């Protein structure tokens, strides 16, 4: 166990909204600073626009019909440099791509079997390596999604939601063959690509012992001690990955919300329920206020074309992130609950507070429990400075008054989310008492 002094220090830091730092802080720092990533689901499911792998697993369509899509996967208009350019335009600092989903079709030329795009699809080539190379040239951090599950492999126990090939307890030889196979594919990714981040999925079907999760993690870190692993290796990862649903309370360690641009991960031409830029930016502001990252999903068509709605969404997000980048990137979690009714972030030295104000909110903005003297308030991305006044401050009491900030002028409002930059005298000091005389 850690010493009580460290525990007290961590609690004090959390009072200012900064997450307690752990032993992996060094390698995790780029991830914590990155804030925004783009998640790419691309595979044979992109041909007909069906649920990735789940379409056959949940018996929405026959397995053979699903797998036949590989014969029409062309990558005919695939340009990885264009993809990377769009991702960087969004402001994202990292990306994650599905190297292999639960259906078992690899994007790279795996030597472990013949179920890959280079061997089975008319694309006729490795489509993962060019994307990796484009990321490296651009400086974009690279994450590789890899499914531990492989419902197509003859030695994997499960295939459909209501049927299995065998039970591990009855055929350990077969299970060991599968473990050798999937770990061999992971080793290929390690040796060929050395990604910055490993995004595992599918761990729920077996235990850590059955997956040999510790062995998988150790093999990765032996090759690259700075590699980051998500939590979906039966909890052996470096950060948490809630999916779609936003955590209500602030997580205790690094975390990332993965969320779709519409209602599906992969290309779904029938799904037009796209989130608006305002909705994504609002969610993103809340996420970084809680010290997390957003991994926003897009799904290209089989030929590499990215739907116009997704391109528009990324470009609009990019306009906003580039305008407000100092309040987003390289910041830490903002004010704890109760001090401000909205998202906020802090500079790493805690001398600058950023408030995120939704476009429709031009009313009274106020702060509670800020003990610091406020030196200046202005609207980020503009030359507009705002006045403020202190309400309820008693001269002989240490309890700070309420900080009321002037109404924002319409001309200074951002299209989606306005950000106020507040310069403090010294590091942020918060009053956390019950008011009154003390």
Q: Taking the domains of the chain in order of start, what are their residue ranges? A: 23-323, 332-424
The confidence band for 3, taking pLDDT boundaries of 50, 70 and 90, is very low
Instruction: State the pLDDT confidence band at 391, using cuts at 50, 70 and 90.
Output: low
| pLDDT at residue number 15 | 39
- Dihedral (CA of 413, 419, 425, 428) sign: positive
Between 9-13, 170-174, 338-342, the lowest mean confidence (pLDDT) is in 9-13
CA 278 to mean position of chain CA atoms:
18
Q: How confident is the model at residue 255 (pLDDT cuts 50, 70, 90)?
A: very high
Q: What is the pLDDT averaged over residues 109-134? A: 98
Is 76 a residue whose pLDDT tops 70?
yes
pLDDT for 406 equals 87
Grade residue 23 by pLDDT with cuts at 50, 70 and 90: very low
- In this structure, what token pair is assigned to residue 393? 């401050």
| Predicted confidence (pLDDT) at residue 264 exceeds the cutoff of 80 | yes
Identify the CATH homologous superfamily for domain 23-323.
Glycosidases (3.20.20.80)
At residue 164's C-alpha, the angle toward residues 160 and 168, to 5°, is: 140
Given a cut of 60, whether residue 438 has pLDDT beyond it is no
Helix (H, G, I), strand (E, B) or coil at 17: coil
CATH 2.60.40.1180 fits 332-424, yes or no: yes
Q: CB–CB of 414/323 below 8 Å?
A: yes
Report the SS3 class of residue 44: helix
Predicted confidence (pLDDT) at residue 416 exceeds the cutoff of 90: yes
Question: Cα(219)–Cα(231) distance, rounded to whole angstroms?
Answer: 16
Neighbouring-strand partners of residue 424: 374
Residue 390, pLDDT score: 80
Band the pLDDT of 12: cuts 50, 70, 90.
very low
- Sign of the C-alpha dihedral, residues 315, 316, 317, 322? positive
Q: State the pLDDT at residue 364.
A: 63
Cα gap 400→403, rounded to integer Å: 9
What φ, ψ does residue 208 adopt, rounded to 5°?
Answer: -60, -40
Mean pLDDT, rounded, for 3-10: 34
What percent of the chain stands above pLDDT 90?
Answer: 77
Q: What is the mean pLDDT of the chain?
A: 91
Pick from 238-252, 270-284, 296-310: least confident: 238-252
Q: When comparing pLDDT for 152 and 403, which is higher?
A: 152
331 pLDDT higher than 70: yes
pLDDT at 353: 97
More confident of the two residues 160 and 246: 160
User: How high is the pLDDT of residue 140?
Assistant: 98
Q: Pick the most confident of 23-32, 137-146, 394-403.
A: 137-146
pLDDT (mean) for 348-371: 83
pLDDT at 29 > cutoff 70: yes
- Sequence-distant (≥ 6) Cβ neighbours of residue 38 within 8 angstroms: 87, 90, 92, 94, 95, 96, 295, 296, 297, 298, 314
If pLDDT is split at 50, 70 and 90, which confidence band does 359 have?
Answer: confident
Q: What is the pLDDT of residue 94?
A: 98
Assign 133 to helix, strand or coil: helix
Mean pLDDT across 182-199: 98
The yes-or-no verdict on residue 174 having pLDDT over 90 is yes
CA separation (Å) from 315 to 89, 90, 281, 298? 6, 5, 12, 13
Binned at pLDDT 50, 70 and 90, residue 14 comes out as very low
Percent over 70 (pLDDT), the chain: 91
Neighbours of 187 (CB within 10 A): 15
Q: 315 or 24, which is more confident? A: 315
Query: In the predicted model, what is the mean pLDDT of residues 379-391?
Result: 84
> Looking at residue 399, what is its pLDDT?
83
What's the pTM value of the predicted model, to 2 decimals? 0.89
Q: Say what the pLDDT of residue 296 is.
A: 98
Q: What local confidence, expressed as pLDDT, does residue 19 receive?
A: 36
Separation of alpha carbons 297 and 85, rounded Å: 16
Report, as an integer, the average pLDDT of 294-321: 98
In this model, does residue 18 exceed pLDDT 60? Answer: no
């Amino acid at each position: 166990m850690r010493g009580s002094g460290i525990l007290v220090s961590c609690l004090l830091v959390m009072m200012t909204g900064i997450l307690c730092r752990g032993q992996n802080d060094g390698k995790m720092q780029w991830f914590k600073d990155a804030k925004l990533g783009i998640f790419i689901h691309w595979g044979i499911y992109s041909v007909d626009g069906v649920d990735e792998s789940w379409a056959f697993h949940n018996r929405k369509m026959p397995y053979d019909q699903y797998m036949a899509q590989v014969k029409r996967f062309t990558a005919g208009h695939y340009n990885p440099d264009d993809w990377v350019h769009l991702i960087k335009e969004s402001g994202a600092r990292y990306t994650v791509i599905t190297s292999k989903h639960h259906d078992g079709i690899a994007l790279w030329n795996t030597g472990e079997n013949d179920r890959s795009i280079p061997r089975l699809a008319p694309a006729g080539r490795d489509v993962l390596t060019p994307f990796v190379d484009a990321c490296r040239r651009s400086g974009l951090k690279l994450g590789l999604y890899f499914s531990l599950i492989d419902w197509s492999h003859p030695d994997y126990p499960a295939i459909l939601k209501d049927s299995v090939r065998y039970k591990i307890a009855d055929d350990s030889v077969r299970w060991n063959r599968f473990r050798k196979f999937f770990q061999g594919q992971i080793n290929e990714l390690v040796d060929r690509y050395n990604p910055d981040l490993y995004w595992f999925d599918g761990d729920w079907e077996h235990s850590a012992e059955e997956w040999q999760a510790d062995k998988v993690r150790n093999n990765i870190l032996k090759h690259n001690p700075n590699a980051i692993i998500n939590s979906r290796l039966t909890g052996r990862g470096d950060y948490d990955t809630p999916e779609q649903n936003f955590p209500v309370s602030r997580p205790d360690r690094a975390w990332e919300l993965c969320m779709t641009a519409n209602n599906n991960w992969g290309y779904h031409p029938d799904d037009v329920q796209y989130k608006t830029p305002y909705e994504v930016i609002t969610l993103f502001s809340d996420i970084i206020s809680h010290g997390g990252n957003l991994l926003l999903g897009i799904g290209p068509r089989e030929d590499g074309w990215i739907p116009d709605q997704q391109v528009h969404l990324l470009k609009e997000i990019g306009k906003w992130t580039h305008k407000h980048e100092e309040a987003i990137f390289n910041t830490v979690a903002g004010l704890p609950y109760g001090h401000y009714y909205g998202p906020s972030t802090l500079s790493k030295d805690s001398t600058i507070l950023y408030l995120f104000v939704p476009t429709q909110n031009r009313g009274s903005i106020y702060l509670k429990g800020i003990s610091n003297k406020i030196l200046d308030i202005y609207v980020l991305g503009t030359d507009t400075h705002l006045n403020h006044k202190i309400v309820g401050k008693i001269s002989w009491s240490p309890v700070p008054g309420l900080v009321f900030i002037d109404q924002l002028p319409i001309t200074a409002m951002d299209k989606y989310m306005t950000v106020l930059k507040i310069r403090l005298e010294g590091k942020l000091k918060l009053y956390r008492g019950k008011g009154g005389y003390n």
